[in-house]
Amino acid sequence: MGIVDDVKDQLSFLGGFKLTLEHLTRPRVTRQYPEEKKPKQPRQHGRHVLNRYEDGMEKCIGCELCAGVCPADCIYVRGLDNPPDDPVSPGERYGYVYEINYLRCIHCDLCVEACPTEAITESKLFEFSFTNRADAIYTKAELVVDDDGRPQKLPWEDWREGDDLMTSGWMRATSPAGNAAYEGEVQWSGELGYGVRQPEGGQSGRRNDQATGSKQLRDVLEPHLLTEDIPLEHRGMKGRMWRAQISAERNKKKMEAARERFKELRATRAAQKAQKKASA
Amino acid sequence: MSGAMLAQLHSMVALTTHGDPLYDNGVGWFVWVVDIIKVLVAFVALLVSVMLMIWFERKLISDMQSRIGPNRAGPWGLLQTLADGTKLFFKEDLLPERADRSVFKLAPYLSLVPALLIFTVVPVGGIITVSGHTFELQVADPPIGILMVLAMSSIAVYGVMLAGWSSGSKYPLLGSVRASAQMISYEAALGITVVTVVLITGSLSTRAIVESQSTNFWDWNLIRLGIVPFFLFLIAITAELTRPPFDLTEAESELVGGFHTEYSSIRFAMFFLAEFMNVITMSAIVVTLFFGGPDGPVPHIPSFSIWFPVVWFLIKVFIFLFIYVWFRAALPRLRYDQLMTLGWKYLIPVSLGWLLAVAGFIVDGWWGLGIAVAAVVLGTVLVRAFGVGQFRETQREPDLVTPRIGPRVVRTPPGPVGEDG
């Protein structure tokens, strides 16, 4: 290493000055939280709902599997035999008491996976700050969906647009029973207010990525498959080219989306400035 | 020394020991009023500017990190400091059980009061005349001027040291030990560069220092002394302020909060205030010593032209405030040995050599050149000698020599000769 390189090495910290100045011109990464909220993931785990069938019957059969699987021990269920003249659920028994303590719940979604009747699922709502312990324990009356099939919106909850949509058992079903042979075939029951939902992204080959933002399971798993399970046209060099093409397209889309976002941001900022000027 | 030089020096001294013309005609009621107004204005302006400085630092550093920064209290978060201060004021004032109570209470004042006092000798503007009375736009113009700055910054060391010592706790103690060692080390380089300025001015008075630079840009000490003293002074003063990258005294990752770990409530606020006030006053001192203070082009606008120097002064100070925040955003904290190496092995020798060269140039051009060449040659020889010595040592006994900064040397125990080559 020559003396020039040595000096350069010693003075390399000066690059920090340039970098910090550059950052002055970059867009800010902070979001002004209560006013400006990040879009939620399509399968975000939020507060639970208790679903009902299309005819209004409750899906819960009081089997207590959810309470059994819960690692935080926050669910309390008591089942009771259905009254023969006025049944609550189509089965033999129904959930007579159903309580979730949100001071304990960790939103792991194990209860949703354990449920045999898709009775308990999670909405995308996470902004519910109660001010006393009694409010923290949600009872069945608060968890069960209303007559339109929508979750009840309690006064201390901050529901956003779309939080209550796509929350049912339909949501968790990717390939029903994990068997590729059933891909795209409806294996979930209808629900109050929505009927039987059609399969979408990740649930069928005719998927819609924009709607759910998810990937097809087969694409995700392909690198892990045995060679003979991979389609011929995706093997070897050809396959590599194909994958590179796909990722390039995806990146291009991402870049375009980002570019458009910046354009919008700039336009709105310019508009704001113009407005300010006009008002001043 | 030539006769002309001597005459020039004498005239300079005569010019500079004059002091504030306000006191020329005795001390009447008008003098009292002017002095009180000066003190009040300086005090209030300093406090307000500290408030704004804290806001500015937080805002700028967040901009440099692509964040937003405080924006809730007041427009653009301007009142954030006020809100923080109010909060601190109403918090519980804790006094550690093992603290030395009286010293613990005294320490914040030892930090805050010098910070306030330093600003009194800074020339903020030119000389103005109000109803027949002429006075300088600076709180005080003592003949010792710049010595007062050095004295006060030394007293501030006591504030930090005693705070750490009296807390009766280990992290503050470590922080204060670091702080006092650091401040004393860098005070040497600081003092020598100040002496360089004093040497060329021929006076200690800050007003005289400013006036000697006031004719044009090329007379600023920055240019006159050859730029290097300015950089030495800037580094030394940053270390003296314990600002990043020299903030080892409050290295959060190592010492919790450093010397003020045990402080809370209004006592902590005083340390905080003192720290930022020092940043402002030291920026003002840099401007005074090297950038001509309030010097700058003054257009002739009746009844307003006297304020132009003040504006120039404020702009210059602001640039240095920006630079301090920039330092904090851009530079990582130095290790302790790097700090000491920089202070003792680089800053002090260079400033000393520069001082000698400047002194030589003031006497005579040939003297200056001779001293400069001698300093460069001697310095090079010394550096080379150290290098050779270290190289030979490391070659001969690799297991006995502590490796220098750099990749860690794996030490193997010396085996029998000729076994592993």
In chain B, where the domains are located: 3-26+81-349
A28/B68 CB distance under 8 A: yes
ipTM value for the complex: 0.70
DSSP state of A201: B
C-alpha dihedral over B408, B410, B413, B415, to 10 degrees? -130
Mean pLDDT of B12-28: 65
Q: Can you give the pLDDT at residue B420?
A: 46
Mean pLDDT of B332-340: 85
Mean pLDDT of A195-215: 60
Q: Can you give the pLDDT at residue B135?
A: 80
Mean pLDDT of B262-270: 88
Residue A94 region, left (φ>0) first, then alpha (ψ -120 to 50), else beta?
beta
Using the predicted structure, report yes or no on whether residue A212 has a pLDDT greater than 90.
no
**For chains A and B, what is the number of CB pairs under 8 angstroms?**
33
A23/B331 CB distance under 8 A: no
Contact with chain B for residue A24, Cβ under 8 A: yes
- Least confident piece of the model among A162-166, A271-275, B114-118: A162-166
Using a pLDDT cut of 70, give the percent of chain B over it: 88
B105 Cβ contact list (under 8 Å, min separation 6): B267
Question: DSSP 3-state assignment of A29?
Answer: coil
Q: Can you give the pLDDT at residue B295?
A: 81
Instruction: Give A192 or B131, the one with higher predicted confidence.
Output: A192
For residue B229, the cross-strand partners are: none
Using the predicted structure, report yes or no on whether residue B64 has a pLDDT greater than 80.
yes
Contact with chain B for residue A27, Cβ under 8 A: yes
Mean pLDDT of B161-165: 88
Average pLDDT score, chain B: 83
| Residue A119 burial by Cβ neighbours in a 10 Å radius (0-12, 13-18, 19+) | buried
In chain A, residues with a C-beta closer than 8 Å to the C-beta of B235 are: none
Instruction: Give B86 or B8, the one with higher predicted confidence.
Output: B86
Q: Can you give the pLDDT at residue A130?
A: 86
Q: Can you give the pLDDT at residue B233?
A: 93
Using a pLDDT cut of 90, give the percent of chain A over it: 24
Q: Can you give the pLDDT at residue A233?
A: 74
- A98 pLDDT tier (thresholds 50, 70, 90): very high
B331/A26 CB distance under 8 A: no
B203-224 per-position pLDDT tens digit: 888 888 888 888 777 888 888 8
Give the distance from residue A10's alpha carbon to the nearest chain B alpha carbon, in angstroms: 12
Mean pLDDT of B8-28: 63
Using the predicted structure, report yes or no on whether residue B421 has a pLDDT greater than 50.
no
Q: Can you give the pLDDT at residue B1?
A: 44
A30/B65 CB distance under 8 A: no
Contact with chain B for residue A33, Cβ under 8 A: no
Residues A172 and A42: their CA atoms lie apart, in Å, by 11
Give the distance from residue B223's alpha carbon to the nearest chain A alpha carbon, in angstroms: 23
In chain A, residues with a C-beta closer than 8 Å to the C-beta of B331 are: 13, 16
Q: Can you give the pLDDT at residue A101?
A: 93
A140 Cβ contact list (under 8 Å, min separation 6): A50, A95, A97, A98, A99
Q: Can you give the pLDDT at residue B55?
A: 92
Q: Can you give the pLDDT at residue B16?
A: 47
Amino acid at B124: V
Using the predicted structure, report yes or no on whether residue B299 has a pLDDT greater than 90.
no
Amino acid at B237: I
Query: How many Cβ atoms from other residues are within 10 Å of residue A85's Cβ?
Result: 5
Average pLDDT score, chain A: 82
Give the distance from residue A7's alpha carbon to the nearest chain B alpha carbon, in angstroms: 15
Identify the CA nearest to B150 among candidates B193, B108, B180. B193
Residues B16 and B405: their CA atoms lie apart, in Å, by 48
A19/B330 CB distance under 8 A: yes
A23/B63 CB distance under 8 A: yes
- A183 pLDDT tier (thresholds 50, 70, 90): low
Mean pLDDT of B267-275: 89
Q: Can you give the pLDDT at residue B132?
A: 75
Using the predicted structure, report yes or no on whether residue A190 has a pLDDT greater than 70.
yes
Using the predicted structure, report yes or no on whether residue A89 has a pLDDT greater than 50.
yes
Residues B302 and B379: their CA atoms lie apart, in Å, by 55
Using the predicted structure, report yes or no on whether residue B395 has a pLDDT greater than 70.
no
Q: Which two tokens stand for residue B51?
A: 């408030």
Mean pLDDT of B263-273: 88
Using the predicted structure, report yes or no on whether residue B14 has a pLDDT greater than 50.
no
Using the predicted structure, report yes or no on whether residue B29 has a pLDDT greater than 50.
yes
Using the predicted structure, report yes or no on whether residue B79 has a pLDDT greater than 70.
yes
Residues A16 and A23: their CA atoms lie apart, in Å, by 11
Using the predicted structure, report yes or no on whether residue B403 has a pLDDT greater than 60.
no
Identify the CA nearest to B286 among candidates B183, B209, B381, B358. B209
* Most confidently modeled range among A173-177, B13-17, B45-49: B45-49
Provide the whole-model pTM.
0.71
Using a pLDDT cut of 70, give the percent of chain A over it: 83
A20/B67 CB distance under 8 A: no
Q: Can you give the pLDDT at residue B362?
A: 86
* Most confidently modeled range among A261-270, B139-148, B362-371: A261-270
Residues present in chain B in total: 421
- Least confident piece of the model among A120-134, B118-132, B381-395: B381-395
Query: How many Cβ atoms from other residues are within 10 Å of residue A2's Cβ?
Result: 7
Using the predicted structure, report yes or no on whether residue A176 has a pLDDT greater than 50.
no
Q: Can you give the pLDDT at residue A214?
A: 55
Residue of B nearest to A22 (CA): B64
- B28 pLDDT tier (thresholds 50, 70, 90): confident
Residue of A nearest to B333 (CA): A13
- Least confident piece of the model among A87-96, A194-203, B236-245, B320-329: A194-203
Amino acid at B271: F
Using the predicted structure, report yes or no on whether residue B400 has a pLDDT greater than 70.
no
Using the predicted structure, report yes or no on whether residue B391 has a pLDDT greater than 60.
yes
Mean pLDDT of B123-140: 80
